[in-house]
């Protein structure tokens, strides 16, 4: 099969090239851009369906607006691969999400066209409002556009920003990219025509002029205002956004480039808060992705001809362990209810949602609400389990403190993607949860060393009478056999996994396996600490009294992490052994394979051995033997 060709796309390196094309060429460009996106992502993996749905919108935005002078702010970033291709990065797409390659998300350091760095959702309107206010303050005539998806609009932060923007009368265009298709009957020739009319200069000038004239005759002006709202209310779902202070236009077909271009040109020339509602199809133009946009949201490398993806590594993932445990525990305890902030598939809750639909709650992209909702459930006798990624739990920190921990409520946090996350990079890394969890009163924090221990800890957390968190990494564990029984662990009690001499490694969670591998070279003792809070203080003191060097190892930032808790314990009890803390450094780590990232941090077995040898007190190597020479 000959390699695909992209004659029009090859002429477009930057948006200024795009703007030289004839309007009649834009649909052909969209076809080439879509094929190029499928071809490149099929080799690298990444986010696919969302970007396929924004091809026409991306072309229209860069065609109409003077980017990068005009600010284009994307939400989340899953939808921005076409934007990357059209803004000078087409040739680097084969490096997507790889070490030293293109990020899977917009990054200010990567391109001047990436006006705001994003990875978490629902930030676009707030950031764009800040840029619009800055432009007004500095006298710059630039335009500012925010593109937000219907899923991201479920977050309270988005509505806070919309409320602020409307009240501030900011010169801002917000585009709602609605790919849920729930309003598809409203999309068509009549709807597109109405929006072109309502956004046009003639209608706008008449309306604004009427406001000026009729405002001097209050009863007539009030009648005219109500008439306009009534007519618009009959033909489009504008009420909510109009009440927030926006002039609403839509919905229109987000795959109709001529309509998009005409409407965007009209809206570009208006002032004040404008809201354009477009409807797109996630996965547009690629049958496998259109048929199952959820599966093709994030993909491994696949065959573009068939859509068949490469098999993921075999083995029981921690996410699967959680999903199986959730169903088993729900069958055993009718009080269990489960909550996710729009991460059913990612958190392993599909089977639970099907078996226990009346006990399953997807609250949308609303992490703050998820935790306080769980607190309310717990107040009245239910046992909520909140499945959430470590990076997203950061967004609900006040609710965790004020609504759960302060009231000592029995809420279980199943924290997925703890530690480094590979290709998703720093926006999604779970680097900080041990630091921000262990300082909270009433909180119990656990980290499993393997799959079976993860199941045991989830049971322990659920049956505990207060707030409890189990944090586990992305991907598979070391392959431990899983006991199907719902057994618990004694809270605050670790275990010795290997006995050695002089050096003791206190390993937390995912770091037990590399610590054990390093210990074979070092002839060191290894403790699986299990609990970050409460710590097994007796075990720590025992190891401090019998070893010359204690080494803490965690897949969390060293600052404020589990190692710091160990040092606090030692200081409080008057012990002064040499201590070495190994963990994530005090900087954001760029994307790479997970194993590469661990090695770069010195958290693989070889790195641990090097660090221990370098930290050994003078002369200790000779005492310990030839292994250290």
Catalytic residues: 282, 367, 395
3-state secondary structure of 209: helix
Distance CA 176, CA 250 (A): 10
User: Distance between CA atoms of 288 and 390, rounded to whole angstroms?
Assistant: 31
What's 65-115 look like in SS3? CCCCCCEEEECCCCCCHHHHHHHHHHHHHHHCCCCCCCCCCCCCCCCCCCC
- Inter-CA distances, 331 with 258, 324, 359, 485, 486, Å: 55, 11, 11, 13, 11
Q: Which two tokens stand for residue 541?
A: 């003191």
The helix (H) or strand (E) run that includes residue 579 is strand 578-584
Cis peptide bond upstream of 556, omega within 30: no
Contact 171, 274 (CB under 8 A): no
**Phi, psi dihedral angles at 506 (to 5 degrees):** -100, 100
Q: Helix (H, G, I), strand (E, B), or coil: what is residue 247?
A: strand
Closest CA to 414 of 451, 385, 456, 392: 385
* Beta-carbon-side half-sphere exposure of residue 176 (alpha carbons within 13 Å): 26
DSSP three-state, residue 593: coil
Contact (CB, 8 A) for 455 and 414? no
Q: What are the respective helix, strand and coil percentages of the chain, to the nearest 5?
A: 45, 15, 35
* Cα gap 3→15, rounded to integer Å: 25
- Counting every residue, how long is the chain? 629
């Amino acid at each position: 099969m000959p390699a695909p060709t992209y004659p029009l796309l090859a002429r477009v390196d930057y948006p200024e090239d795009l703007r030289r094309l004839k309007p009649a060429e834009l649909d052909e460009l969209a076809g080439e851009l879509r094929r190029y996106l499928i071809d490149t992502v099929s080799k690298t993996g990444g986010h696919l369906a969302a970007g396929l749905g924004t091809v026409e919108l991306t072309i229209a935005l860069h065609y109409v607006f003077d980017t990068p002078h005009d600010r284009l702010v994307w939400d989340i970033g899953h939808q921005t691969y076409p934007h990357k291709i059209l803004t000078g990065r087409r040739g680097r797409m084969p490096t997507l999400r790889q070490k030293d390659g293109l990020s899977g998300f917009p990054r200010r350091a990567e391109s001047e066209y990436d006006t705001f760095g994003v990875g978490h959702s629902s930030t676009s309107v707030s950031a764009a409002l800040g840029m619009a206010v800055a432009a007004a303050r500095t006298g710059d005539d630039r335009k500012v556009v925010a593109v937000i998806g219907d899923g991201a609009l479920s977050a309270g932060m988005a509505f806070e920003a919309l409320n602020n923007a409307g009240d501030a009368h900011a010169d801002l265009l917000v585009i709602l990219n609605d790919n849920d298709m729930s309003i598809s009957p409203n999309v068509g020739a009549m709807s597109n025509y109405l929006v072109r009319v309502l956004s046009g200069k003639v209608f706008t000038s008449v309306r604004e002029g009427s406001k000026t004239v009729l405002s001097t005759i209050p009863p007539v002006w009030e009648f005219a205002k109500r008439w306009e709202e009534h007519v618009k209310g009959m033909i489009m779902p504008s009420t909510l956004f109009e009440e927030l202070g926006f002039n609403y236009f839509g919905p229109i077909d987000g795959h109709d480039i001529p309509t998009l271009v005409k409407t965007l040109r009209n809206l570009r020339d208006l002032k004040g808060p404008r809201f354009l509602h477009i409807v797109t199809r996630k996965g547009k133009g690629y049958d496998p992705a259109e048929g199952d946009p959820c599966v093709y949201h994030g993909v491994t490398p696949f065959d573009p001809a068939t859509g068949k993806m490469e098999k993921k590594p075999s083995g029981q993932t921690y996410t699967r362990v959680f999903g199986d445990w959730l169903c088993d525990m729900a069958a055993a305890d009718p009080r269990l209810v489960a909550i996710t902030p729009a991460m059913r598939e990612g958190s392993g809750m599909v089977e639970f949602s099907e078996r226990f639909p009346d006990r399953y709650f997807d609250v949308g992209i609303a992490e703050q609400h998820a935790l306080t909702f769980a607190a309310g459930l717990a107040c009245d006798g239910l046992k909520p389990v909140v499945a959430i990624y470590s990076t997203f739990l950061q967004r609900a920190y006040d609710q965790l403190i004020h609504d759960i921990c302060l009231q000592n409520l029995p809420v279980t946090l199943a924290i997925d993607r703890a530690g480094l996350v590979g290709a998703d990079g720093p926006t999604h890394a779970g680097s900080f949860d041990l630091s921000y969890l262990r300082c909270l009163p009433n909180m119990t924090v656990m980290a499993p060393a393997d799959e079976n221990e993860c199941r045991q800890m989830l049971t322990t957390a659920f049956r505990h009478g207060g707030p409890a968190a189990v944090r586990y990494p992305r991907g598979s564990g070391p392959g431990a056999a899983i006991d199907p029984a719902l057994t618990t662990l004694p809270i605050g009690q670790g275990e010795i996994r290997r006995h050695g001499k002089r050096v003791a490694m206190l390993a937390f969670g995912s770091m037990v396996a590399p610590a054990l591998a390093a210990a074979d070279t070092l002839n060191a003792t290894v403790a699986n600490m299990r609990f970050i809070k409460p710590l097994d203080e007796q075990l720590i003191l025992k190891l401090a009294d019998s070893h010359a060097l204690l080494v803490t190892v965690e897949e969390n930032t060293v600052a404020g992490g589990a190692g710091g808790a160990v040092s606090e314990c030692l200081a409080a009890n008057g012990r002064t052994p040499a201590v070495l803390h190994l963990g994530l450094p005090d900087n954001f780590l760029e994307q790479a394979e997970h194993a590469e990232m661990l090695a770069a941090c010195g958290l693989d077995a070889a790195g641990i051995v090097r660090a221990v040898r370098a930290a050994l007190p003078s002369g200790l190597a000779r005492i310990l033997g030839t292994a250290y020479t």
